[in-house]
Structure 1
Amino acid sequence: MTPRKLVLVVIDGLTPTMLEGSLGDSSTPTLTALADRGTLGRATTTFPSLTPVCLSSIATGAHPDVHEIPHLVWWHRGERRLVEYGSSFGAARAAGLGRTLRDTLVGMNSEHLGKDAVTVFEALADAGVRTAAVNFTAYRGRTRHRPTVPFLVPVLGPERFFFYNLFQSERTGAPLSFRNRAAGSIDAYAAAVGRWLVTRDGFDFLLFYLSDYDYASHAEGPDASSAVLARCDAAVGDLVRAAGGLDAFLERYAVIVLSDHGQTLVTEIARLGDRFRHEPETLVAASNRAAHVYRLGPSAPRARALAERLDGEPSAGVVLFREEGATVARREGVELRLEDASAGTRSSGDAAILDQPDAITRATAALRCPNAGDVVVSASEGWEFEDLGGRHHLGGGSHGSLVAGDSLVPVMTVGLQGAVLGSVVDVAPAVLAHFGVQAPTYAVRTAA
Structure 2
Amino acid sequence: MSKKIILLLIDSFMPHVLQEAREKGLVPALSFLMEKGAYWDNCVTVFPTMSATVDASLVTGEYPEKHGVQGLIWYHRPEERVVNYINGSKSVWRIGVSKCTKDALIEVNETHLSQDVTTVFEELTRRGKTSASFNFSVHRGPCRYRLRKPGILKLILAGLSFERMVSGPEICTIGRFIDSEFLRSFPWKWSHSIFQKYGLNDWFAIDATCRLVKENKLPDLTVVYLPNMDYAYHRKPDQGPQILAKVDRGIQRLLDSFGGGEEAIRQCRFIVVGDHGQTKIGAEVEANIDIPQHFVGMKMAEMKEIKPDSDDVVICNNERMCYFYPLKEGVQEETIKRLLRDSRIDVLAWKERGGVRVRRGEQELFFAPGNKIADEYGRMWNTEGDLSLIDARQKEEGGSVFIAFGDYPDLFSRLYGALYAREGDVIVATAAHGCEFFTPDDPVHRGGASHGSLHALDSFVGLIITGETKERFARPRIVDLKSYILQQLT
Tell me the TM-score normalised to structure 1 length. 0.91
Q: Which residue of 1 aligns with 2:465?
A: 413
- Name the aligned partner's letter for residue 33 of structure 1: F
Which letter maps to 1:69? V
Match in the other structure for 1:439? none
Shift of 1:179: 3.9
Q: Distance in 1 between matches of 2:169 and 2:246?
A: 26
Q: Is the 8 A contact 2:347 2:359 kept in 1?
A: yes
Q: Which moved more, 1:363-372 or 1:419-428?
A: 363-372
Query: Which residue does the alignment assign to 1:321?
Result: 350
- How big is each residue's C-alpha offset from its partner over 1:102-156, in whole Å with a ceiling of 9 and x where there is no partner? 1111111111111112111111112121100111111111111122327434210
Aligned residues: 431
Note the aligned Cα RMSD (angstroms).
Answer: 2.0
The amino acid that maps onto 1:412 is I
Q: Structure 1 residue 325: deviation in Å?
A: 2.2
Separation of aligned partners in 2, 1:372 and 1:53: 19
CA distance in 1, matches of 2:23, 2:101: 40
User: Highest Rg: 1 or 2?
Assistant: 2
1:185 Cα deviation from its structure 2 partner:
7.8
Aligned-pair CA distance for 1:406: 0.4
- 1:162 is aligned to 173
Equivalent residue number for residue 223 of structure 2: 207
2:398 counterpart residue number: none
Residue 12 (structure 1) shift: 0.1
Q: Give the counterpart of 1:233 among 245, 248, 270.
A: 248
1: CA distance, partners of 2:343 / 2:96: 31
Unmatched tracts of structure 1, length 5 or more? 437-448
Going from structure 1 to structure 2, the CA distance change for 1:339 and 1:26 (only over 3 Å counts) comes to closer
| Secondary structure of the corresponding residue to residue 224 of structure 1 | helix
Q: State which of 249, 265, 285 in structure 1 corresponds to 2:280.
A: 265
- 1:278 equivalent to 2:332? Answer no
Q: Please tell me whether the aligned partners of residues 307 and 330 of structure 1 are also in contact (alpha carbons under 8 angstroms).
A: no
2:318 matched residue in structure 1: 287
Q: Deviations over 1:174-223 (max 9, x none)?
A: 524344349x98211112111111112321100011001001011112x5
Amino acid corresponding to residue 116 of structure 1 in structure 2? D
Q: Work out the CA distance in 2 between the residues paired with 1:422 and 1:37.
A: 19
Letter of the 1:272 counterpart? I
Kindly state the Cα deviation for residue 340 of structure 1 after the two structures are TM-superposed. Answer: 3.6
* The 10-residue stretch of structure 1 (352-361 or 417-426) with the greater mean CA deviation from structure 2: 417-426
* Residue in 2 that maps onto 1:186: 201
Shift in Å, 1:9: 0.5
Note the alpha carbon deviations across 1:223-272, whole angstroms, 9 max, x for none.
52333312211211122111111111111100110100000011111232
146 and 17 in structure 1: CA distance in 2 versus 1, 3 angstrom threshold? same
1:358 is matched with which residue? 410
CA shift in 2, pair 1:155/1:346, >3 Å: same
Q: Distance in 2 between matches of 1:65 and 1:51?
A: 16
Taking the TM superposition and a 5 Å limit, the aligned residue runs for 1:325-344 are 325-343=354-372, 344=380
Identity among equivalent positions (%) equals: 28
Work out whether residues 285 and 388 of structure 1, in 8 Å CA contact, stay in contact via their aligned partners in 2.
Answer: no
Distance 1:112 1:349 in 2: 35
Whether 1:8 and 2:7 are equivalent positions in the alignment is: yes
Cα distance in 2 between the residues matched to 1:422 and 1:255:
16
Paired position in structure 1 for 2:148 = 148
Partner SS, residue 393 of structure 1: coil
Q: Is the 8 A contact 1:177 1:188 kept in 2?
A: no
Q: Which stretch has the larger CA shift, 359-368 or 247-256?
A: 359-368
AA aligned to 1:350 is D
Alpha-carbon distance, 1:25 to partner: 4.2
